[in-house]
A and B are shown apart, each in its own frame.
Chain A
């Protein structure tokens, strides 16, 4: 499906965005599971060929994350190869490297990467879509949120194949979007065990919203912005 990618550049000189979108189109052509000719779709069908070096890199990183998260992040969680959960953030990290500007914000379907700052990033309320559950002031950071919201299950527990319960959303703040996103996905899949796991992550902060209305967070107060009623 289409995913809106929004790039906001705060730079008096502007910036050339064409290389960024050319990169994103290239990533899509290689990785989209919905394009029958993409390498990922062909691999998922069991075709045998030497994958593009970028595809090999992504598959290696997915495997490293699967090991690091003890199986909670798994590109094969649904039973077939689907590395989208990693590719989205990885593509944005790559786009940021191509963008020659001092301050920008890239938003890819609710996962956000900023350079410069501070940028004010709202965390969507999982139950009230016209409200925020929190707002953060971040610089040179990535913010990724995994949750169910109203569209139903898109994350499954790789061990049971079912949707985790008890957790509404997990937001992870870290230096790279690909990793922050994978950690958010893994912590969400862990359910009630997620918040404690996030507390062990170096260089990352997390905010988990539980179904009972509690928020468990490792985000420092100095990053939090006050919310108005």
Chain B
């Protein structure tokens, strides 16, 4: 069903200059930095998709801070592995429902896991790009033959 649906899916990724949540003007990457040059060269050479099983790499995404590429592995429709292939930048920062009833507040323990998902909520700055690259990788892995 998922596969049949995938054929009908139109996915468009566009980067627009709508400002995010930054409360300060963003710092910019120094284009003369050897780190930046090396990372850019690696990003250019990085494989766009890895046709091994169901693993795929998202396109490298360049931000004002860094260049990011993420690889996702999808097994039987489930996201099983995520690997950051490329993360570079200048500076320590970068290197590092609707029911009409009163909702009830419940406490539970924080879990860490994975699931078959269409999108991820929760990202700022570098992680926005990380997430964008991850999503591109998921989309690619979904489209690969079993």
Contact = CB atoms under 8 A, between A and B. Distances in A.
A173 to B, nearest CB: 6
Interface string A103-119: 00101111110000001
B97 A14 contact: no
Contact of A8 (B9, B98, B117): B9
Interface residues of A, number: 105
A49 B69 CA distance: 44
Contacts of B100: 202-203
A124 B19 contact: no
A195 interface: yes
A141 B111 contact: no
B132 A169 contact: no
A4 B129 contact: yes
Interface stretch (B33-41, B47-55, B120-128): B120-128
B20 A124 contact: no
Give the interface size class of chain B.
Answer: 35 or more
A206 B121 CA distance: 13
B121 A110 contact: yes
Nearest to B83: A130
Given A10-B5, A131-B112, A227-B113, A5 B123 contact: no
Nearest to B123: A110
Contact of B112 (A5, A14, A87, A128): A128
Interface stretch (A54-62, A64-72, A214-222): A214-222
A169 B99 CA distance: 23
A12 B8 CA distance: 5
A131 B113 contact: yes
Nearest to B25: A34
Most interface-central of A21, A127, A129, A145 (chain B CB within 10 A): A129
B21 A84 contact: yes
Contacts of A78: 23
B106 A122 contact: no
A1 B111 contact: no
A229 B110 CA distance: 13
A109 to B, nearest CB: 5
A26 to B, nearest CB: 10
Given A2-B15, A5-B14, A32-B17, A150 B104 contact: no
Contacts of B124: 109-110, 147-149, 151, 154
A6 B97 contact: no
Contacts of B119: 6, 8, 105, 107, 112, 119-122
A27 to B, nearest CB: 6
Contacts of A209: 110
Given A122-B119, A141-B98, 20 more contacts: A2-B15, A3-B19, A4-B132, A7-B12, A12-B8, A17-B10, A27-B18, A32-B17, A110-B131, A121-B121, A123-B121, A130-B82, A132-B117, A133-B112, A148-B124, A149-B127, A150-B127, A152-B93, A214-B109, A227-B112
15 contacts: A6-B132, A6-B135, A9-B10, A12-B8, A109-B20, A109-B124, A122-B115, A122-B119, A143-B121, A144-B121, A198-B105, A209-B110, A216-B106, A226-B115, A228-B78
* In the complex, the 7 A-B pairs of residues with the closest C-beta atoms, listed nearest first: A227-B113, A110-B123, A151-B125, A218-B103, A145-B122, A124-B122, A135-B115
